[in-house]
Amino acid sequence: MSKPDPKLHKLESILDRFGNFAVESFHYIALFIIGCMVIWSAGHTVVEILTIKKFATIDDILLLFIYLELGAMVGIYFKTNHMPVRFLIYIAITALTRLLIADIQHTHKASIDQVIITGSILILAFSILVVRYASWTYPSVMRDKNSDKPLPPGKTPRPEDDELA
């Protein structure tokens, strides 16, 4: 059995550090851009409501709730480095509710589309229960690939944590 090459281990460590830095940089830059776009879109909607429409419809209010959930999701990802799947489901429920209300306001009659949308909302609400139960019962633990010791929640391995043997 041959001994591992220390130069190869050092090169692997350097490449791991660079890869971690590149991934973290991309995440932060992309999240910053997404956050700016959410703020820009929400601001544009508010300005449009105040200047053009003069009042907010239920569609407008639900759209602002969607922007709020998107902003909260970006903020949580910035703080914890975890994507909250529940927030995506909340956004989907709000979008379907907005669609349902718009459909009812414009057609003023019952249709199978409304039943399908309502059923979809019910399925999404049930999926939130499943996700919450699963995350409570089976919490995920991130581990460093070089160690059996679990990392603190929301942390990824940093280059400073790598130690050469």
CB 125 within 8 A of CB 92: no
Q: Is 145 exposed, middle or buried (0-12, 13-18, 19+ CB in 10 A)?
A: exposed
Please state, in angstroms and rounded to a whole number, the distance separating the CA atoms of residues 86 and 159: 31
pLDDT in tens, 67-83: 999 999 888 888 887 77
Helix-strand-coil split of the chain, %, nearest 5: 75, 0, 25
Q: What is the average pLDDT value for the chain, to the nearest integer?
A: 83
Q: Cα–Cα distance between 156 and 145 in angstroms, integer? A: 10
pTM: 0.69
Q: Is 122 exposed, middle or buried (0-12, 13-18, 19+ CB in 10 A)?
A: exposed
Q: What percent of the chain has pLDDT above 90?
A: 47
- Closest C-alpha to 99, from 80, 117, 123: 117
**89 within 8 A of 107, measured Cβ to Cβ:** no
- Least confident range from 29-33, 40-44, 77-81, 87-91: namely 77-81
